[in-house]
Homo-oligomer: A and B are copies of this chain.
Amino acid sequence: MPTCDLLLTNATVLTLDERFTHYASGAVAVTGDSIAAVGDIAREYQAKQTVDCGRKVVLPGLVNAHTHAPMTLLRGLADDLRLDVWLLGYMLPVEREFVSPDFVKLGAGLACAEMIRSGVTCFADMYYFEESVAEVTAAAGMRALCGQTVLKFPSPDAASYEDSLALARDFITRWKNHPLIVPAPAPHAPYTCTAEILQACAALAVEFDVPLHIHISETLLEVENSRREHGMPVVPWVKKQGLFDAKVLAAHCVHVDEGEIRTLKNTRAGVAHNPTSNLKLASGIAPVAKMLASGLNVGIGTDGPASNNDLDMFEETRLAAILAKGISGDPTALPARQALAMATRLGARALHLGHLTGALEPGKRADLIVLDLQPLHNAPAFARDANAVYSQIVYAAKSTDVTDVMCNGQWLMRDRKLLTVDEPALLRAARDYAKKIDIFLIQREGSVLQKLVAIGGAVEQESFEVQVKARVPGEAAEQALEVLQGDVITIIRSVHYHEYDTYFLFADPSQGRLRYREDEFLDDQGQVTSVRARLTLTGQAREGEFGSVLLSRSHYLAPATYSLRFYREYFKPVAEREVEKDRRRWLVVYKGVEFFVNLDRLIKPAVEGYYLEIKSRTWSRRDAQDKAAIISELLGLFGASPDNALKEDYVELTGRK
């Protein structure tokens, strides 16, 4: 008679295997970290320990296919807001201030505790300091695909994308062979990464044979921008960057067409469907039934607890099932059994971990949960239809009906008691963090940025900028115009306008300066053709200097939809400055790089001569350095000397008067 370490008996066993094999009265034999046998096998095994499941249901541990676990610490911080207000006004500033390995460990610990309680044994994560998530998850005994975020912006754990890529490589190298953790690069999203970043992340994933975790086509805006910028929707564009050379887990895929679904299927990508988050943030509803029909592995995810606001896979699975019916008009769409398969087997496959988890089959890891279907809210039960048990689980069971959880052969919860996580300590520490975040945000209530964001539409200018400005005499301006007409520079477009700037200054200079600008666009005859007004909030900080070339970032732009009078009353500046100038502006290419060249004549304050500005966007410090060198060269070409370069903004010239 074969032996096993543990025998779970007297249970309804749902294997969630390909054929949905289930045993009305069955058993599961576990040896070491794995399942030895499943079925009517109770009398065939000699077990070191036997656990009578009291007619409860044993099924695979649920797979949360997409989350940002540490964001438990930001749960409920700011809800029911426009996406930009939520993100720019709350999430990003708080993350910038607070996210650290300590924050990440605490948040991930809370998330693990919550997920274990609700029957999750495996999840796919994406955050900063992901190695801290991995440490906490491994200590809690859970399985996870841990994605180290890579972004074109600076992030809490990396000043540049090169840094975050290096972090990802280190993390993957160290954790590659861990029994519970699968490390992965997580390029955040196509619109927050460059082509180069996507290519580098895919290459990294291929090099180490690990999956790659990314957000794809979450919002319609993302797709529209992709069509405009790349002439195609998101999936073909990332395919062109070689992303699917890696084993991709694509979160969201709300706005994908049939061709994109085919591409995802053909490239063996997995998809994480996040119905609560997609509804709550008003992103839309993913075409899940179509994806499943195409044979795609679609799992279900909660997304981060700042946009959900919990990690309850029972709620998520129910929502996936009923939403698919509601939007298709077909009540037979996504039946309960298929929805539960998404939450288990298909989710595991979407994470590229289907060989390890997601179904109760001999040889797979012992990742399983025990569920009580006998409470009042699930009574009575009918035996006629073999699918009724799936319906009970999906349409009426609650996460609080999970009584026991095992992962990798280890009990994580017994009789609703957590065994691997110190819940009271986590709760205490979370309270302390929440207090600090509260204080931080309350202090910021008077912040100009906060107020700008609160009235809507403020977007962070998504780049570094390298720039130089030099005062040039009238004749140098003539020379510059000749150079622009010449052979070495290609003009892409040019424009001529009259700028009226009003700067609001604040008592606390760290608030930055808010500029209200009205531009009158002029035609060849100097007639006004159109007018545009917008707000820009600029910080004081310079990121760096390369000789006379300055590196700056963090401008917030917003369309000025109200009057100057409104903004004056709303922002209550302590002082104002006015600047008026005539500007000719060219977008040019020089040595294969795009630059903006401005030739400005100051009217208010009235200053003799001209100012020549040369600017370019950049994504990394290395690129900035390269462009700074070309800018200096251009400056020479235009006959200006770096000695005449100015570091002040025009508004600072008004201060001199």
Tell me, in angstroms, the Cα distance from A186 to B263 when the chains sit together. 53
- Within the complex, what minimum Cβ distance (angstroms) separates A327 from chain B? 8
Complex interface: chain B residues within 8 A of A308 (CB): 395-396
Interface check A454, CB cutoff 8 A: no
Complex interface: chain B residues within 8 A of A528 (CB): none
Smallest CB-CB A-B distances: 10 pairs: A279-B326, A380-B434, A80-B335, A279-B322, A309-B395, A380-B430, A282-B331, A79-B391, A309-B396, A400-B400
Tell me, in angstroms, the Cα distance from A649 to B224 when the chains sit together. 66
Interface check A113, CB cutoff 8 A: yes
Tell me, in angstroms, the Cα distance from A565 to B339 when the chains sit together. 36
Interface check A238, CB cutoff 8 A: no
Interface check A114, CB cutoff 8 A: yes
Interface check A336, CB cutoff 8 A: yes
Complex interface: chain B residues within 8 A of A1 (CB): none
Interface check A507, CB cutoff 8 A: no
Tell me, in angstroms, the Cα distance from A431 to B384 when the chains sit together. 13
Interface check A281, CB cutoff 8 A: yes
Complex interface: chain B residues within 8 A of A426 (CB): 376, 379
**Contact residues of A between 89 and 122, Cβ < 8 Å to B:** 110, 113-114, 117-118
- Cβ–Cβ contact B395 & A310, under 8 A: yes
Complex interface: chain B residues within 8 A of A110 (CB): 376, 379
- Cβ–Cβ contact A281 & B325, under 8 A: yes
Tell me, in angstroms, the Cα distance from A433 to B383 when the chains sit together. 12
Complex interface: chain B residues within 8 A of A310 (CB): 377-378, 395-396
Complex interface: chain B residues within 8 A of A547 (CB): none
The size class of the interface chain A forms with chain B is 35 or more
**Contact residues of A between 211 and 227, Cβ < 8 Å to B:** none
Complex interface: chain B residues within 8 A of A384 (CB): 438, 441-442
- Within the complex, what minimum Cβ distance (angstroms) separates A448 from chain B? 18
Interface check A10, CB cutoff 8 A: no
- Cβ–Cβ contact B331 & A80, under 8 A: yes
**Contact residues of A between 370 and 393, Cβ < 8 Å to B:** 374, 376-385, 387-388, 391-392
Interface check A333, CB cutoff 8 A: yes
Interface check A73, CB cutoff 8 A: yes
- Cβ–Cβ contact A430 & B379, under 8 A: yes
- Cβ–Cβ contact B427 & A282, under 8 A: no
Complex interface: chain B residues within 8 A of A325 (CB): 279-282
Report the copy number of this chain in the oligomer: 2
Tell me, in angstroms, the Cα distance from A506 to B284 when the chains sit together. 52
Which of A80, A113, A333, A431 has the most chain B CB atoms closer than 10 A to its own CB? A80
- Cβ–Cβ contact A438 & B330, under 8 A: no
Which of A79, A281, A318, A384 has the most chain B CB atoms closer than 10 A to its own CB? A79
A82-B332, A331-B86 known; A391-B309 Cβ under 8 A: yes
Tell me, in angstroms, the Cα distance from A437 to B388 when the chains sit together. 14
- Within the complex, what minimum Cβ distance (angstroms) separates A266 from chain B? 29
Interface check A328, CB cutoff 8 A: yes
- Cβ–Cβ contact A336 & B391, under 8 A: no
Partner of A326, one of B76, B285, B399: B285
Interface check A602, CB cutoff 8 A: no
Interface check A311, CB cutoff 8 A: yes
Complex interface: chain B residues within 8 A of A534 (CB): none
Interface check A315, CB cutoff 8 A: yes
A79-B395, A80-B336, A309-B395 known; A382-B434 Cβ under 8 A: yes
Interface check A398, CB cutoff 8 A: yes
**Contact residues of A between 391 and 422, Cβ < 8 Å to B:** 391-392, 395-396, 398-400
Interface check A492, CB cutoff 8 A: no
Given A117-B377, A281-B325, A381-B434: 11 more A-B contacts, CB < 8 Å: A75-B378, A83-B331, A114-B377, A278-B326, A280-B331, A310-B378, A376-B426, A380-B427, A382-B441, A384-B438, A384-B441
A279-B322, A391-B80 known; A329-B284 Cβ under 8 A: yes
Interface check A476, CB cutoff 8 A: no
